[in-house]
Amino acid sequence: MTLTEELRAWQNEKRCEKTVESLGKNGFTSVYCRTTKEAYDYIIAEAADAKTVGFGGSLSVADLQVAERLKGMGKELLVHGAPGLTPEERQEIMRRQLTCDLFLSGTNAVTLAGILVNIDATGNRAASMFFGPKKVIVVAGRNKIVDGTIDDAIIRVKELASPPNARRLNYNTPCAKTGFCCDCNAPDRICRVTTIIDRKPRLTDLRVLVVNEDLGL
């Protein structure tokens, strides 16, 4: 490891630890995971008693590759993005995610002050994060950490996450073509619902795994 790499690793660790500390002060159950393997193991352990597991369409969770293991454990996976679903079937799965035993999601941004910021097109993912499921686990890679305000976090989402997500989902938006947000009014616009979770919701068992690796967009 070069000196540059060593110093960067030290800085990443400190940023993750600071974020975990801030989330704890805000009432969240927050866990520092040094590797994706630690995050994977945590989720599998917490899913032991769950019968239904909802997936919020997160690339961060997909990067952990927990779905196959959970399926092998006999869990019913609620994945609204599964291929071949009709619009009606897709919406029914979204509704069932709101009352599942365990909901897994990423976050578009988390500030060093311990605030979760997300932007949705439909709002089903964001809604399931703060009310409904018996347990929620949010996975936040170190690349999602924002050293700044809520406004800075929103900028991070619109500049770094929304354009590639629009492209991934094959939406007809300007950002999916140019790679840059222009605050459009396109019918396929995905920036429609902005949520700020600045304290642990009173009735939701919400845990945040801060992972010292890059995950998702």
Domain extent at residue 147: 3-211
Query: How many domains would you assign to the chain?
Result: 1
- Whether 217 is covered by a domain: the verdict is no
Return all residues near 70 (Cβ < 8 A) that are at least 6 apart.
Answer: 44, 47, 53, 77
- Whether 69 is covered by a domain: the verdict is yes
- Whether 216 is covered by a domain: the verdict is no
Distances (CA, A) of 110 to 45, 81, 115: 24, 24, 5
**How many CA atoms, within 13 angstroms, populate the side-chain half-sphere of residue 141?**
17
Instruction: Give the tens place of pLDDT for each residue, 197-210.
Output: 999 999 999 999 99
Q: What is the CATH number of the domain that holds 101?
A: 3.40.50.10420
- Whether 157 is covered by a domain: the verdict is yes
- Whether 92 is covered by a domain: the verdict is yes
Instruction: Give the tens place of pLDDT for each residue, 156-171.
Output: 999 999 999 999 999 9
Instruction: Give the tens place of pLDDT for each residue, 10-51.
Output: 999 999 999 999 999 999 999 999 999 999 999 999 999 999
**Tokens for 124?**
């089903």
Claim: this prediction has a pTM higher than 0.95: yes
- Whether 15 is covered by a domain: the verdict is yes
Name beta bridge partners: 193: 120
- Whether 38 is covered by a domain: the verdict is yes
d(CA 23, CA 30): 6
d(CA 203, CA 188): 33
